[in-house]
Structure 1
Amino acid sequence: MKSSTLKTNRDFRRVYNRGKSVLMPSIVLYKLPTRHPINRIGFTVSNKIGNAVTRNRIRRRLREAYRLNEDRIKEGFDLVIVARHKSVESDYKSLESELIDALSFLGLIETEI
C-alpha cells in the first residue's frame, strides 16, 4: 500500500520524542505506532551535510530505497529517516541495506533467509 508523507514539524517532533529509534552508520530510523491504516514517512537531511545538491541526492536515494521495499513493511506507523554524515560517501546499495537492517531491527519488516 502506498505511504503518505509526514509534513508538519509537529508530526516530526512527535515521532522523535515518543518513538523508538535505531542508529545505523549512515541513517537513524525512528518509528511510532499510529492508528492510521497506512504508513507515513518523512526524510530529514541536515543543512550541515554537504550542499543542496548533495542533500537532495541523499534524500532521493533514501526515498527510492523505501519505495522499492514498501510492500514488505508493516502498516500503521509513522517513520522518520534521518541521514547522517556518512551517508554522503555511501552508495545506493549500502543505504538500501542499512534501511532494510534498521527496519528489521525495529520489527517492521521480515528478513529473508
Structure 2
Amino acid sequence: MLPKPNRVVHAADFRRIVRTGRRFTSPTAVLHVTEAEAGVSRFGFVVSKKVGNAVVRNRVRRRMSEFVRLQLPLDPPVDVVVRALPAAGIADYGTLAHAFEPLLRSR
C-alpha cells in the first residue's frame, strides 16, 4: 500500500489533476499527470465497474499501487490520477506496469 502522504484522497484534488494534467494513454490505463502542490508525489487510482467485479478491481488497484510504491520517490514530484481501462482486468502485473512508462520517461 502507498504511504499516506503519497495518496490523492480528496475529490477536489482528483478533479484538479484530471482537468489540468497532461494525459498519457496505454491499452490498460490513462494517466493524468500534473505538478505536485504538496512537494511530494501523490497518486490516486480510479477503477470502474467496467474493469470487473470487486475482486478484479481491487487486484488491479493493488498491482498499480505496488508498482508506484516501488518507484517512489519521484523527482520532480508529480500528482497523478490513474484511470484503469477494462483491459486492465485481465492484464498481468508487467502489462499494468507498462502503463507507467511515459511517467517514468518524463523524469
The TM-score with structure 1 as length reference comes to 0.83
SS at match of 1:102: helix
Q: What SS class does the counterpart of residue 81 from structure 1 fall into?
A: strand
Deviation at 1:80, TM superposition (A): 0.8
Report sequence identity in percent.
33
Quote the RMSD (CA, aligned, Å). 1.6
From 41, 45, 48, give the equivalent of 2:47.
45
Return the letter of the residue paired with 2:51: I
Contact 1:38 1:77 in 2 (8 A): yes
2:88 — aligned with what?
Answer: 87
Do structure 1's residue 102 and structure 2's residue 76 form an aligned pair? Answer: no
Which runs of 5 or more residues in structure 1 are unaligned?
none
| 2:11 matched residue in structure 1 | 9
Query: With structure 2 as the length reference, what TM-score do the two structures score?
Result: 0.87
Q: Which amino acid aligns with 1:38?
A: V
